[in-house]
């Protein structure tokens, strides 16, 4: 009896404490962004988000995100497939390298690309000859985005594929199915939810990347400014309403992503339970 009462006290203190903490640190900033964005009325808000530079920045963000998600889906699938379905030397090293971008500071990620493709690099004469611009141009932004979101999809897939094992694929291959058919009919249905979940995570990170992109972009308004960089520019120009209006678009996308995430997680868990 006494234990229960004590538990109830601790329980509610912890719950209230944690909810307050979350409200203060996570929810309040969101409310604040929306409030500031609309502080000067709906008309100003609409003006800010339909500004031609804002639209261009948003478009560039969408482009970089699509590229990053596309490349990383392809890579994530093939990497997860290689790592889980085949045994080969250097497997550990490869998975370490795949995880590396998570621990590296985004600024350093940007820096290594500048060193690779910039003017002082050994690759520069080659790039110059064929007139390829990477640094301070759109390809650089796309590369940086790919780098920072690199591990997200493969990391979601590897545990699922490991748990599944290779028996079903072996059976399919013994029955004469081709690799592509095996992948489509046997592997893909198993990893569908994990893959979608990875894509969602990847999208979230890609659209918001700031540090790495900021190093590589060169900050040309309307040309190499992504939405987060555009927000920085406005904020530093003391255009707070504009900055928060542009932020509110990203906040909306974030909320959609969070809802998708919870939903996907639910679907994934349900599938797991059904199977066991």
Partner 1 sequence: MTILSVVVLIPLCSLVVFSAQLSPSEFLHTITTPRVLKSYWISIACAFSASVVNAFMGLSLAWILVRYEFPGKRLVDGIIELPFALPTAVAGIALTHMTTVNGWIGKLFFDLFNVRIAYTPLGIVVALIFIGIPFVVRSVQPVLEKIDVQYEEAASILGASRRRTFLRVIFPEILPALISGFSLAFARCIGEYGSVVFISGNIPYKTEIAPLMIMSQLQEYDYASATSIALVMLAIAFVILFVNAVLQSLVSKRVSGIS
Distance CA 115, CA 123 (A): 10
Q: Tell me which residues in 146-175 interact with partner 1 (CB under 8 A).
A: 146-147, 150
Q: Tell me which residues in 239-268 interact with partner 1 (CB under 8 A).
A: 240, 243-244, 247, 250-251, 254, 257-259, 261-262
Q: What DSSP element (H or E) covers 131? A: none
Q: Tell me which residues in 106-135 interact with partner 1 (CB under 8 A).
A: 106-108, 110-116, 118, 120-123
Distance CA 177, CA 163 (A): 22
Given 38, 53, 183, 235, the residue binding partner 1 (CB under 8 A)? 235
For the record, the structure tokens of 127 come out as 């790039």
Tell me the closest approach of the beta carbon of residue 258 to partner 1, in angstroms.
Answer: 5
Centre a 10 Å sphere on the Cβ of residue 184 and count the other Cβ atoms it contains. Answer: 12
Given 80, 143, 161, 264, the residue binding partner 1 (CB under 8 A)? 143
Q: Which is nearer to partner 1, 11 or 270 (CB)?
A: 11
Given 140, 198, 208, 242, the residue binding partner 1 (CB under 8 A)? 208
Q: Tell me which residues in 181-200 interact with partner 1 (CB under 8 A).
A: none
For the record, the structure tokens of 22 come out as 């979350």
At 188, is the secondary structure helix, strand, or coil?
Answer: helix
Given 182, 196, 204, 245, the residue binding partner 1 (CB under 8 A)? 204
Distance CA 244, CA 250 (A): 10
Q: Which is nearer to partner 1, 114 or 172 (CB)?
A: 114
Q: Tell me which residues in 45-84 interact with partner 1 (CB under 8 A).
A: 71, 74-75, 78-79, 82
Given 15, 46, 132, 188, the residue binding partner 1 (CB under 8 A)? 15
* Residues contacting 111, CB < 8 A, separation 6+: 215
The span from the first CA to the last CA of the chain, in angstroms, equals 38
Half-sphere exposure of 173 (CA within 13 A, CB side): 10
């Amino acid at each position: 009896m006494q234990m229960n009462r004590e538990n109830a006290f601790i329980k509610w203190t912890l719950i209230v404490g944690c909810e307050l903490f979350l409200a203060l640190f996570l929810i309040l900033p969101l409310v604040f962004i929306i409030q500031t964005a609309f502080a000067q009325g709906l008309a100003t808000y609409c003006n800010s988000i339909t500004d031609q530079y804002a639209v261009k920045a948003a478009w560039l963000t969408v482009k970089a995100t699509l590229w990053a998600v596309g490349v990383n889906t392809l890579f994530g699938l093939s990497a997860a497939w290689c790592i889980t379905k085949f045994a080969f030397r250097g497997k550990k090293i490869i998975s370490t390298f795949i995880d590396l971008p998570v621990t590296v500071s985004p600024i350093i990620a940007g820096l290594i690309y500048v060193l690779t493709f910039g003017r002082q690099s050994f690759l520069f004469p080659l790039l110059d000859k064929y007139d390829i611009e990477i640094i301070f141009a759109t390809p650089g932004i796309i590369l940086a985005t790919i780098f920072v979101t690199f591990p997200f999809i493969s990391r979601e897939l590897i545990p699922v594929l490991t748990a599944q094992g290779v028996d079903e694929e072996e059976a399919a291959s013994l029955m004469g199915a081709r690799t592509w058919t095996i992948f489509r009919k046997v592997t893909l249905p198993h990893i569908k939810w994990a893959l979608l979940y990875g894509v969602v995570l990847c999208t979230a990170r890609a659209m918001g990347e700031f540090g790495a992109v900021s190093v590589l972009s060169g900050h040309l308004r309307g040309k190499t400014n992504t939405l987060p960089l555009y927000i920085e520019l406005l904020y530093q120009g003391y255009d707070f309403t504009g900055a928060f209006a542009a932020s509110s678009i990203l906040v909306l996308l974030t909320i959609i992503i969070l809802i998708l995430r919870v939903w996907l997680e639910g679907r994934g868990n349900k599938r797991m339970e059904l199977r066991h």
